[in-house]
Amino acid sequence: MRDRHLCFLIGETGRNPNAAAQLAPQPSVRGGSHSQPAPLLFFLVPSPSESSKASRTQRAAAMASPDAEQPAPTEPARWRDLDMLLSRPGNLVEASFDPSPTLRDLLGSLVEVLVVGAGGLGCELLKDLALSGFKKLHVIDMDTIDVSNLNRQFLFRVQDVGKSKAEVAAKRVMERVSGVNIVPHFCRIEDKELEFYSQFHIIVLGLDSIEARSYINSVACGFLEYDSNDNPLPETVKPMVDGGTEGFKGHARVIIPGTTPCFECNIWLFPPQVKFPLCTLAETPRTAAHCIEYAHLIKWDEVHSGKPFDADDAEHMQWIYSEALKRAELFGISGVTYSLTQGVVKNIIPAIASTNAIISAACALEAFKLISGCSKSVSNYLTYNGLEGTHIKVTDFVRDKDCLVCGPGTLIELDTSSTLAEFIKMLEEHPKLRISKASVTHEGNNLYMQSPEVLEQMTRPNLSVPMFELLKGVPCATVHATGMAENNGKKVSSLRKLRVAFKGVEASNMDTTESS
Amino acid sequence: MINLFKIKGQKKEEAASAAGKAPVKKQSAGELRLHKDISELNLPKTTSISFPNGKDDLMNFEIIIRPDEGYYMGGTFVFTFQVSPSYPHEPPKVKCKTKVYHPNIDLEGNVCLNILREDWKPVLNINTVIYGLNLLFTQPNDEDPLNHEAAVVLRDNPKMFEANVKRAMAGGYVGQHYFPRCA
Ligand SMILES: [Zn+2]
């Protein structure tokens, strides 16, 4: 996950335009989509026994100011609205839904939820999930609190600046919502082993980068296994709810690996970030942003011979600002300010607290529905736009059946004695694959590369080694092969996911989960 | 989808089989796509590739171009490629390691090639970029300058530009800038 510090001024800031919501993209939409009725969002917040207008206002005030004293409502009353959702049958419930007053207890005592990110969206998510009956939560974030976060990351106070977001957020929500346990993880998402992620029943994402989403998606989809008919095995499905906001826009989507599109299936929803041509920056700057990018991308290296630029170093930022200002004066361009400099360099666009609240509410509701089955899930991508009126739209995106991350791949059975060379031969002969000249990779180990020559030489010795040995003796594993495959009589380059299973090797439950 | 009662039943099995597991490295979709790009590289005869970190790090590599025509014939130019896990969503980061007198490459090694920035599309690949870099040496372009002085000389006095390129590649000064030998 990319470093996401926001260490600067007060000002409404959030990061990375790429990261979040793209507005209701149109292509490859299948059929109609059903929206969730918005009022449901509001039922979810447990209310005290008297649901008079006055007490609601009080409750809102208490939430807005967690430091205020507020007697904890008595348990049954507190969860009354939630219990209604869980104990009544209906026409819109999931087929598996079995209404019962004990569901809330199960929800609280059994379901482990991971919230990824404790920033603007993460703070909201933790609060919403805790108030929706989830009691076993974990939160992971590598960031520390910056003064500029305080305007919207409402769990944090001035005295928290510099502390771990995950730790402070967990503590605050536990103080406010009795009976909830939140375990904070102050680290990078990549620092955790797969075992850590496997313990959760659902993962809720409040992230602002494509990279981090893509990573969590690959982890969650990595647990997915298929049966021999390429149907996902329900017990290996690790659902995700992904939220993202960008200014007045946001999205909430439900990813059920093997059933709905995964993040990678629709990665094209996130267009590459707009980049200015370097020569425009060097020769013909026309805007304040051009001047700032010139100082950032060209001038810095010219002057600092190899010293890397650190966007979180205030001195570095000040230097970029003053250089950009000089450049702007030279070309008669106005508008370079310190905060614009930060905005351009760190790719910041304004973050709106209410967008976070709306998207988080939608995400928490989806998590609640996925787990309880008390209503059908959104299918499968909700976009919200609070600009020029308010628009909410749900789009039913379709899976990429050949997705390398969530697709079933092709099952190949091998003897433990089969060598890599024999395996490559099998790929050529396999009726579903017919991949010639395959290069093979496994979890970042390049087992064999047909090209370029340097890599072919380095990997050639593997050809005579049994696959069982190359895959470190696991009963089954996912490998990827690249090569020329036949498609409608034409040879096209392709990249395929393969499930390799070794004949006669016992696969225990967890091992298969792990290596697929 | 996920049924609470199912979760309840699952609980026991999980506890039973939570034995020690070796951490598994996750391969990003970007790495896989890069693996495909690299295994399908079709290098022009002017170009070679090397992997300073060995066969399992494809995300960092070097491209060496030895132009066989044009102003830069006889020179050897090294480019470093840094590919992020978000590839091909993000273009590779390419820098020229060899100090070169060139209108579209500045003295810090920044390269002005449209497909590396404003015109990058995920359908492009490493081959396209290598092709583009080769083009820079056969067709330096005075219209998109990063090295302004070199661009002006190329436009106004191609003969002098040719002489300057030769001097720089042989190791010497062009104007105030010293260029180490790369021919
Ligand atoms: Zn997918």
Distance from CA of B162 to the nearest CA of A (A): 22
How far off is chain B from A125, nearest CA to CA, in Å?
A: 20
Q: Is the pLDDT of residue A248 over 90?
A: yes
CA gap B49, B151 in Å, rounded: 29
pTM value is 0.77
Full domain range(s) for residue B150: 28-175
| Percentage above 90 pLDDT, chain A | 54
- Name which of B14, B27, B58 to mutate to probe chain A: the one with the most chain A Cβ atoms within 10 A of its Cβ: B27
Confidence of residue A333 (pLDDT cuts 50, 70, 90): very high
Taking an 8 Å cut-off on Cβ atoms, the answer to whether A106 and B26 are in contact is: no
Q: Using one digit for the tens of pLDDT, what is the confidence trace for B70-95?
A: 999 999 999 999 999 889 989 999 99
**Domain tally, chain B:** 1
Nearest CB to B4; choose among A103, A259, A298: A103
Chain A residues 170-229 within an 8 A CB cutoff of chain B = 190, 193-195, 199, 201-202, 210-211, 214-215, 218-219, 222
Q: How high is the ipTM of this complex?
A: 0.82
pLDDT band at B4 (very low <50, low <70, confident <90, very high): low
Give the other-Cβ count within 10 Å of A318's Cβ: 12
Q: Is residue B145 part of a domain?
A: yes
Q: Do B38 and A264 touch (CB under 8 A)?
A: no
- At residue A508, the pLDDT reads 54
Q: Give pLDDT, residue B3.
A: 57
Separation between Cα atoms, residue A97 and residue A86, nearest integer Å: 9
pLDDT for the residue numbered A31: 32
The reported pLDDT for the residue numbered A68 is: 45
Coil vs helix vs strand at A64: helix
| B50 phi, psi to nearest 5 deg | -140, 155
Q: Cα of A218 to ligand 1 centre, how many Å?
A: 9
What's the pLDDT score for residue A38? 26
Compute φ and ψ for A138, nearest 5 degrees: -125, 150
Greater model confidence, A494 or A71: A494
pLDDT tens for A380-414 read: 999 999 998 999 999 999 999 888 899 988 889 99
Residue B63, in any domain of the structure:
yes
Q: Which of the 8 DSSP states describes residue A273?
A: P
Chain B residue numbers touching A302 (CB-CB < 8 A):
106-108
Higher pLDDT pick, B139 / A490: B139
Report all structural domains of chain A as residue ranges with CATH numbers, in order of start: 5-24+100-269+353-395 (3.40.50.720), 278-345 (1.10.10.520), 410-502 (3.10.290.20)
Over residues B141-160, mean pLDDT: 93
CA A267 to ligand 1 centroid distance, Å? 9
Ligand 1 centre to CA of A260 (Å) is 8
Give contacts of B122 with chain A, Cβ < 8 Å.
268, 272
State the average pLDDT over residues A147-171: 93
Give the pLDDT score at A74.
55
Give the residue from chain A lying closest to B85, CA to CA: A211
Please state, in angstroms and as integers, the Cα–Cα distance from residue A471 to each residue in A443, A516, B70, B175, following that order. Answer: 9, 12, 49, 58
* Bond prior to B88 in cis (omega within 30° of 0): yes
Please state, rounded to an integer, the average pLDDT across all residues of chain A. Answer: 83
Cβ–Cβ gap A298/B35 under 8 Å = no
Strands B172-174 and B93-96: unpaired
In a domain, B161, yes or no: yes
* Residue B159, domain member (yes or no): yes
Q: Which of A26-40, A237-251, A500-514 has the highest mean pLDDT?
A: A237-251
How many Å apart are CA B151 and CA A422, to the nearest integer? Answer: 55
Taking the Cβ of residue A370 and every Cβ of chain B, the question of whether any pair is shorter than 8 Å is answered with yes
Q: Which of A51-60, A78-87, A283-292 has the highest mean pLDDT?
A: A283-292
A488 touches chain B (CB under 8 A): no
Q: What is the mean pLDDT of residues A189-207?
A: 94
pLDDT of residue A253: 97
Can you give the pLDDT at residue A34? 34
- Give the model's confidence band at B7: pLDDT under 50 very low, under 70 low, under 90 confident, else very high: low
In angstroms, rounded to a whole number, what is the distance separating the alpha carbons of residues A360 and A418? 50
> What confidence tens digit (pLDDT) does each residue in B111-123 have?
999 999 989 988 8
Nearest residue, CB atoms, B50 vs list A190, A211, A454: A454
Whether the CB-CB separation of B57 and A473 falls below 8 Å is answered with no
Is-catalytic flag, A265?
Answer: no
Residue A487: what pLDDT?
A: 73
Angstrom distance (rounded) from CA B83 to CA B77: 19
Per-residue pLDDT tens for A411-439? 899 999 999 999 999 999 998 888 998 99
Determine the pLDDT at residue A464: 96
Tracing tokens 């998606």 back to the chain, one arrives at A217
Q: Nearest chain B Cα to A196, which residue?
A: B23
Report pLDDT for A296. 94
Run of H or E residues at A140: strand A136-140
Q: Tell me, what's the pLDDT at A443? A: 86
- Mean pLDDT on A252-267: 94
Cα distance from B107 to chain A (closest Cα, Å)? 8
Residue B180 pLDDT exceeds 60 = yes
* Site from A204, A278, A296 to mutate, B interface, most B CB atoms within 10 angstroms: A278
Closest residue by Cα to residue A430 from A492, A505, A481: A481
Peptide bond into A452 cis (omega under 30): yes
Q: How confident is the model at residue B2 (pLDDT cuts 50, 70, 90)?
A: low
Residue B103 lies in a domain: yes
Average pLDDT (B135-164) is 94
**Amino acid B12: pLDDT:** 43
Residue B105, domain CATH: 3.10.110.10
Q: Between A338 and A12, where is the model more confident?
A: A338
Which of B8, B27, B55 faces A443 most closely, judged by CB atoms? B27
User: Which candidate from B27, B90, B107 shows the least CB-CB separation from A272?
Assistant: B90
Quick one: average pLDDT of A361-372?
96
Domain membership of residue B13 (yes or no) is: no
